[in-house]
Amino acid sequence: MSRAASQFGIQLAPLVALAVGVAVPFLLDSYTTFQLATALSYLPALLGLVVITGLGGQIALGNGAFFALGAYTTGVLIKSYGWNELATLPAAGLLAFVVGIVLGVPSLRLKGHFLAVLTLCLAVVAPQLFKHFESITGGVGGLGIFLADPPSWVRIDATQRNYLIALAIAALSFASTRAVIRGHIGRALRAVRDNEAIAASLGANVTHLKVAAFAYSAALAGLGGGVFAIVIGFIAPDNFTLGFAALLIIGLVLGGKDSEWGALNGCLLVVGIPLYAAKIDQTASGLVFALLVLTATFLAPAGVVGLTRRLAGYWGGTGDAAPNRSANAHLTGLHDAGAAAGHCHEGK
């Protein structure tokens, strides 16, 4: 296949996916639409993790907290202030972004296990904070958001409308993350991940890059949380415990951690695996879930995306499937790291 044709193929794929996504609520039943909407609400958070953890190599276990923040922002704005649900979403993303910067600056000085542990503590503290400030969040009793049905002239029901909102946000996040991954910021992040000291010595402003990536992942998680609140209609602190943060990481890894398609696979897996496990055995679903995840990890440690790349490799496929592991690409990445530093200075 010629270079141009495969490039075209690569550009076409997201549009095809989008078309399929739009068709879904009108072809499939309400329950499946609801489940897919839930999965799509996780997609932005996973995309954010692809950027900070997959590309950036920083183990961020606390993004569940930003997800929760977004969910509560949407919930509170709708319930207590009567905002339109669509208007709350940018607010959710923006607030999460700001908090991401504030928390990111001190946190990202830490590396490796220390960062993982710090973000883990964030994930544990967040539900407690939401419980504590109950005059705003409704505390332990949770927050019910009852959205009215769409007006009858629109001819879609509430489930389909929620799904379409989720799809729109997911598509925007997907496009934006795709641009980041393939652009020079993505290459700069990979350079920092592979060898931070060299990247810094070549002029990358490592701190800015890391904080920017972290804040971006926080913003996406917040957006996803807002969508989640709309889709589910009820949020409580126990929705966002450590187990949720763990589920996100599992989805990220099993899907494929450094590709936007990996995030898409991941969000479907995050919803699909527990369902499948419950169908196999109700009472032992946790155990089946663990076994499924273990098996999947061993069969495909680089996720579904890694698996397809290996298969594509066996069939002699072309295209820019492989991540930049060649020496040239490495140097390009470092060069871009320096360029990105410049961008970071003026852009933020």
Strand partners, 143: 235
Measured from the CB atom, the residue of 138 and 343 that comes closer to another protein is: 138
- For the bound state, the minimum distance from the C-beta of residue 187 to another protein, rounded and expressed in Å, comes to 19
- For the bound state, the minimum distance from the C-beta of residue 200 to another protein, rounded and expressed in Å, comes to 10
- For the bound state, the minimum distance from the C-beta of residue 290 to another protein, rounded and expressed in Å, comes to 3
145 phi and psi, to 5 degrees? -115, 110
Counts of helices then strands in the chain (DSSP H, E) = 15, 2
- For the bound state, the minimum distance from the C-beta of residue 16 to another protein, rounded and expressed in Å, comes to 28
**Side-chain half-sphere exposure of 141, counting CA atoms within 13 A:** 6
Match 């609801």 to its residue by tokens.
34
Pairing of strands 143-144, 234-235: antiparallel
- For the bound state, the minimum distance from the C-beta of residue 265 to another protein, rounded and expressed in Å, comes to 14
Measured from the CB atom, the residue of 53 and 73 that comes closer to another protein is: 53
Measured from the CB atom, the residue of 227 and 343 that comes closer to another protein is: 227
| Contacting positions for another protein (CB under 8 A) | 29-31, 34-35, 38, 53, 59, 106, 109-110, 113-114, 116-118, 120-122, 124-125, 128-129, 131-132, 140-142, 144, 146, 195, 197-198, 201, 228, 232-236, 238-239, 242-243, 246, 249-250, 252-254, 257, 274, 278, 282-287, 289-291, 293-294, 297-298, 301-302
Who contacts 233 (Cβ-Cβ below 8 Å, separation ≥6)?
144, 145, 146, 147
Who contacts 170 (Cβ-Cβ below 8 Å, separation ≥6)?
21, 40, 41, 43, 44, 227
CA dihedral of 260, 342, 214, 57, whole degrees rounded to 10: 70
**DSSP structural state of residue 144:** E
- For the bound state, the minimum distance from the C-beta of residue 12 to another protein, rounded and expressed in Å, comes to 30
Q: Report d(CA 46, CA 267) in Å as an integer.
A: 7
Q: Report d(CA 336, CA 339) in Å as an integer.
A: 5
Mapping DSSP to helix (H, G, I), strand (E, B) and coil, where does residue 140 land?
helix
- For the bound state, the minimum distance from the C-beta of residue 153 to another protein, rounded and expressed in Å, comes to 20
Measured from the CB atom, the residue of 189 and 343 that comes closer to another protein is: 189
Measured from the CB atom, the residue of 6 and 285 that comes closer to another protein is: 285
- For the bound state, the minimum distance from the C-beta of residue 293 to another protein, rounded and expressed in Å, comes to 4
Q: Report d(CA 105, CA 110) in Å as an integer.
A: 10
Give CA separation, 199 vs 49, 164, 193, 341, in Å. 21, 41, 9, 11
Q: What number of other Cβ atoms are within 10 A of residue 155's Cβ?
A: 8
Structure tokens at 117: 């542990």
Structure tokens at 160: 């389909």
